[in-house]
A and B are shown apart, each in its own frame.
Chain A
Amino acid sequence: MADPRVSVIEDRLKKVNRVLAVSSGKGGVGKSLIASTLSLMLADKGYEVGLFDIDFTNPSTHIILNAESVSPTEENGIIPPRVRGLKYMSIIYYSSGHVSPLRGVDVSNALIELLAITRWGETDFLVIDMPPGIGDAVLDVIRLVKKANFLIVTTPSKLAFETVRKLASLLLEMRIPITGVIENMKMRESSFIQEQVEKMGLRFLGEIPFDYSLEEAIGDVNKLLKTMFARKVKELAEKIALQTLGD
């Protein structure tokens, strides 16, 4: 007759002010690093921030944040543990690093389960690290997380942008709010992406130059926060906070 979990999701997110779904059509464009760093920067500004990694088959934010020794607590559901001030939720607590080959229906079910049982409480921003592409997770976030705003990440590559164009077109067609587009890993001067983004009627939030020091900072948050990448994300975080809280 009915899956009882779905009806409680809206209630679980009632005290969450803004949801930012960090997305892209392609993998490897820096979504997880941007989602993690953006969350840290928003928390640094005094906001209460949750970070939810829903890339269930390939989660990676726990590596970026070095969050492997924490686990959620049970209290009428699941309360995410704190990692560097963030309420941090990931399937890694349950998969423990084992390979998790999930088909679409399993991805949907796992997402519904975690949305139904996780208690975020009072939260200014819930940042969702999305899996790449336009698959079940994107469609389920659109279906189940009514307050989601999409923050789209691309690289300067025409190949990456082509997938972003499709994702953005879908969101525009479905009238889903798009916070804007970030151009990551910029290596040379070009206004191609900005022009394309603006041609679609979307906000170009800014660009992040390719940062050779970033790889070294993965797993060391203190080091990460000192990178040029993090400084750029901080600027974007300020812009996004002003923009989304003002909407």
Chain B
Amino acid sequence: MHEWALAEAVVSTVSQIAIREGLRRVTEVRLKVGELQQIEIEILRFALSELKRSSLLEEAEFIIETEKAELRCRVCGHKWFFRKNEVDEDVAEAIHFVPEIAHAYIRCPKCGSPDFEVVRGRGVWLESVEGVK
């Protein structure tokens, strides 16, 4: 239930932003969730709905958008997408906990290099927070 830890991080960050911006209540939170981390969206959504109770986020709607994980080789420039079904279950799970560990298992399909960057779609990212002052 790694998603709970990340949901706590989201609620904590949004609360801090709301206080900083002087919001009395938060109405909408937009999250981007990268496919590399393979977050179970329904678990994340459930955790957020539980954790937001009795907080400034109580009435907030969470809009969660998933983002494909695009990788780019730093050696040959080749770009490709991470697909969970192309790696072993154990590897997928390791990447779920620490996405950077992809560098231990994934190689550029064109030149074989482990030196690639995650252009987009790594993990959970807070896009916007809206509320009422």
Stretch at the interface among A14-22, A89-97, A206-214, A239-247: A89-97
CA distance A114 to B97 in the complex (A): 8
Interface contact A102-B97, CB-CB below 8 Å: no
Q: For A6, what are the chain B residues with a Cβ–Cβ distance below 8 Å?
A: 9, 13
Pick from A1, A74, A119: contact of B126, CB under 8 Å: A1
Asked if B63 lies at the interface with its beta carbon under 8 angstroms from chain A, I say no
Asked if A8 lies at the interface with its beta carbon under 8 angstroms from chain B, I say yes
Interface contact B9-A2, CB-CB below 8 Å: no
Q: Given A98-B105, A110-B101, decide whether A77 and B4 contact each other with a Cβ distance below 8 A.
A: yes
Interface contact A91-B101, CB-CB below 8 Å: yes
Asked if B114 lies at the interface with its beta carbon under 8 angstroms from chain A, I say yes
CA distance A1 to B32 in the complex (A): 10
Q: For A107, what are the chain B residues with a Cβ–Cβ distance below 8 Å?
A: 100
Inter-chain contact count A-B, CB under 8 Å?
A: 107
Contact with B along A105-142 (1 / 0, CB 8 A): 11101100110110100000000000000000000000
Interface contact B128-A8, CB-CB below 8 Å: no
Asked if A11 lies at the interface with its beta carbon under 8 angstroms from chain B, I say yes
Interface contact B127-A1, CB-CB below 8 Å: yes
Interface contact B13-A116, CB-CB below 8 Å: no
In which size bucket is the chain B interface? 35 or more
Q: Given A2-B126, A3-B126, A4-B124, decide whether A113 and B9 contact each other with a Cβ distance below 8 A.
A: no
Interface contact B9-A75, CB-CB below 8 Å: no
Interface contact B100-A77, CB-CB below 8 Å: no
Contact residues of B: prevailing secondary structure: helix
Pick from A7, A56, A77, A99: contact of B2, CB under 8 Å: A77
Q: Which residue of A lies closest to B128 (CB)?
A: A1
CA distance A109 to B100 in the complex (A): 7
Pick from B16, B94, B126: contact of A94, CB under 8 Å: B94
Asked if A5 lies at the interface with its beta carbon under 8 angstroms from chain B, I say yes
Q: Which residue of A lies closest to B129 (CB)?
A: A1
Q: Which residue of B lies closest to A95 (CB)?
A: B104
Asked if A100 lies at the interface with its beta carbon under 8 angstroms from chain B, I say yes
A→B interface (CB under 8 Å): 1-8, 11, 56, 74-78, 91, 93-96, 98-103, 105-107, 109-110, 113-114, 116-117, 119
- List 14 additional A-B contacts (Cβ < 8 Å) besides A7-B9, A99-B104, A101-B114: A1-B128, A2-B126, A4-B126, A74-B1, A77-B2, A91-B101, A94-B97, A94-B104, A95-B101, A96-B90, A102-B103, A103-B117, A110-B101, A117-B6
| 17 A–B pairs (Cβ distance < 8 Å), ordered by A | A4-B9, A5-B9, A5-B123, A7-B16, A56-B100, A77-B1, A77-B5, A78-B2, A91-B98, A94-B94, A94-B95, A94-B97, A100-B104, A101-B114, A113-B123, A114-B98, A117-B6
